[in-house]
Chain A
Amino acid sequence: MLELRNLRKRFGSLTAVDGLSLALRPGEVFGLLGPNGAGKSTTISMMVGLLEPDEGSVVLHHDNREHSPQHAHVRAMLGLAPQSLAIYDELSAIENLRFFANLYGIRGRDAITRAQNALALTGLSDRAHDRAKVFSGGMKRRLNLACALLHRPRLVLMDEPTAGVDPQSRNALFDIVRTLQADGVTVVYCTHYMEEAEKLCDRVAVVDRGRLLAIGTVHELINAHGGPSELVLEHDSAPGTLARSPVTDPIPELAAAIAKGGLRSATIQRPTLENVFLNLTGRSLRD
């Protein structure tokens, strides 16, 4: 679907992307994880042709041919829902959608139908004629996504789509991602929220300082980089105090603890994607 080949981008002395290579598979939801300044936004900008790489290339596979996203006609295959809300506050939801439809050469009845479909998909049909400026944060996010979808792209790039939205809107956005996946659309999902990536993504790439640190399914990454499970025990002698111990094989350890007696509760905590992320990128703050 889309391939990054040894991608490199520098801004002065800062290397934002440093030899990044990965390939998206058609129809998958691909998570792009990384701390602030990891190079995610620069990578996305190069994926959609907004930035030209200094080295390497971005290749879109279409009709058995390789294309560069720099070419306008290929970009019609792409839909971008940027982190900043790329909508016009003074236009209504339907006006925003019709304007972007026009840019893709969709006009008249077709533009109206597609705009209505995009509004229905994002749950905004009732507010079609309200100006975007009166929308809540979650509604604006959904409209932002609707604008990226109305031309029916084959690859949708979503940059922090749930930033600052309430749980209802977040769930609605998850449903949209699942609907897109069911329709065979490839989705690149850029997020800081690990549980979202665990819930939605078929595969995940962890990047930091412009480099690819790990790539695979969530399960593969946890197994490879999540570290050991933790056995958490609470004894009758010290209620409320939890004793944690990393264990490679928790079942025999738990059996031994039960045999000793005086056990109030016991929990086995499997590693999560967050453990993977912190193990790979470290715990130092990024500003």
Chain B
Amino acid sequence: MILALAIKDLRLLSRDVTALFFTFAFPVIFAVFFGMMFSGGGRGSGKLALAIVDEDRSARSQALVQRLTDSGEFDLSPADSADAAEHLVLTRKAAAFIRIPAGFGKAGESFLLNPGNAPALEVGVDPSRQAESGMIQGILTKHAFADFGEAMMNPAKMRQQLATTIPLARVAAAAGAGPKSLPDFLTQLDRFMGEMERETAATTATPSDPASATTTAPAAGFNPVNITTRDVKPPRTGPTNAFAVSFPQGIIWGVMGASMGFAGSLLSERKAGTLARLLVAPANRRHVIMGKALGCLIACLLVILLMLSMAVAFFAVRPGDPLKLAAAILATSVAFVGLMMIVSCIARSDQGASGLGWGIMMVLAMLGGATVPLFAMPAWMQQVSDISPIKWAILAIEAGLWRPLSWTEVAPALVILTTIGVAGFAIGLRFFRTAP
């Protein structure tokens, strides 16, 4: 019976376009808008910040660094050592680092002889930024292909490569470690490239166009660079991004919308006469109240889960501690059921519930950090905000997302929220059992 009442209320909510907007759409708009605003939308280059360390310091490695810099695809910060590069990632000054290890240039020179031993690169990246990791690897591979392609198209560079490769090939062939015809082939190729070099110098002073080389498509099964990745997990000392702050705020607006809708519906049932019919049915007042509370709880949970799903799927917000997040979701929903019950006790009509409820909620929201983030408030304001349950709700949700709070630290928020929920429910139950 309680479930039937709850389902009925959820169905009614789903058909109320205005309530749906304020419960689901407005909070998303709020979270996205403020998330983008706090992200500084348009500020900076918008490029991915990368640290790069060149341990090889060969001509080839320096050419790669130059190529990456010239491409403008990354905001590169050179680092002196691998530790310094990693530090930039750990302190979130860079999204990832690229390490060009010693031997990169040598491996490149002998690549024709031994294609299995491609020049190596290491990418250190936050494991929560898999999308960026993939993008970095793709761009590095593209540049490696471009470099290789340019060498093949530039006779001088090719001859330089062959000069080191042919002696090695001879040694390998003598030892029976490679095809015997390879040194001869490479020598012929060197001769051909020499003629090409002279021909090119005679016909044009323009070298081969590097831009066209960058368009060389990667060949299947062939890779001129061997990229390895390493997880570099920065300590969680702050929000991963601005959306990790704006989405908890948006969630609060969502649950406020859902709970105030339910507060109004409890009173409109009385006004419309449907409450009388419910009570004449074998439902008693306790059933009706519990049905409303369950409906409100489900609506709040749906709002929170929907918004968190969006935050994770589209805005790179990551639940830092899923268990704390689950506890926060439940405690927040319970608290707003209690607030809904209290508002419906104080108000005398559904319009009254809407006006009074939103009036109270707006004050609590402003105090509690649902408009201006808590950390952006002055110290005295942060203390005043203790009186708002919304502060505790945001704090608890943030603890599940990024705020580094232990269970002991987050427990007061969870206890306060649950107490508000239980007390509000008890007050509502008592009020409606005795109300005329």
Contact = CB atoms under 8 A, between A and B. Distances in A.
Contact of B12 (A45, A88, A104, A148): A88
Contact of A102 (B1, B272, B273): B1
B198 interface: no
- Give the contact-size bracket for chain B: 20 to 34
B4 A88 contact: no
Contacts of A224: none
Interface stretch (B204-212, B222-230, B277-285): B277-285
- Give the contact-size bracket for chain A: 20 to 34
A79 B280 CA distance: 8
B282 A99 contact: no
A75 B276 contact: no
A148 B273 CA distance: 13
B282 A91 contact: no
Given A103-B1, A103-B4, A75 B11 contact: no
Interface of B is mostly: helix
B80 interface: no
Contacts, number: 69
A165 B11 CA distance: 29
B198 to A, nearest CB: 86
A75 B282 CA distance: 6
A233 interface: no
A87 B277 CA distance: 9
Interface in A130-144: 131
A102 B4 contact: yes
Given A84-B273, A90-B16, A50 B279 contact: yes
Contacts of B16: 90
Interface in A98-125: 99-100, 102-105
Interface in B371-430: none
Interface string B106-117: 000000000000
B15 interface: yes
Nearest to B275: A86
A173 interface: no
Contacts of B12: 88, 90-91
The winner among B279, B281, B283 for most chain A CB atoms within 10 A is B281
B8 A88 contact: yes
Contacts of A75: 280-282
A76 B282 contact: yes
A95 interface: yes
Contacts of B277: 80, 82, 86, 100, 147-148
A201 interface: no
Interface string A55-88: 0000000000000000011011011101111111
A84 B281 contact: no
Interface in B228-285: 272-274, 276-284
A216 interface: no
Contacts of B280: 48-50, 75, 78-80
Nearest to A101: B4
B262 to A, nearest CB: 14
Interface of B: 1, 4-5, 8, 11-12, 15-16, 272-274, 276-284
17 contacts: A45-B276, A49-B280, A84-B273, A85-B273, A88-B12, A90-B16, A91-B11, A95-B11, A99-B4, A100-B281, A102-B4, A103-B4, A103-B278, A103-B281, A103-B282, A105-B1, A131-B15
